[in-house]
Amino acid sequence: MSTSLPLTSSRDRLKSLAGCGDAASLRSAVSELCAEFGRVTRIDILTMAEAEKRRALCFLRLESAAQERRLMSTLGVPRFGEDVLVVVDLAPATACSG
């Protein structure tokens, strides 16, 4: 049983989040990306800019800890407190590219 294709696809999709130009489109894209692991029950997004670099911190929760562990393992993202943390380096763009 090979998991390399879904893993690559998920990580590529994670990188594609950089094309989101605002918090609403990023929220939608993150929810869609995480849906394969389980239903997103909460998502909070903080955006910041420093030295001409934009970044979004997406704090989210799924229905179960097992789903969250699978998401973290597959996408290579950490936990911050009780939340799963997805950090997105945002490119200057107006809409999601993926």
CA distance 36 to 20: 20
Q: What are 61-72's pLDDT values in tens digits? A: 999 999 999 999
**Does CATH number 2.30.30 belong to domain 4-90?**
no
User: Following CA atoms 81, 54, 26, 62 in sequence, which dihedral angle do they give, to the nearest 10 degrees?
Assistant: -10
Residue type, 26: L
Whether the CB-CB separation of 63 and 38 falls below 8 Å is answered with: yes
Whether the CB-CB separation of 85 and 58 falls below 8 Å is answered with: yes
Q: What is the pTM of this model?
A: 0.79
Tokens of 87: 């950090």
Spans of all domains in the chain: 4-90
Q: What are 3-42's pLDDT values in tens digits? A: 444 545 777 878 888 888 788 899 999 999 898 999 999 9
Whether the CB-CB separation of 87 and 57 falls below 8 Å is answered with: yes
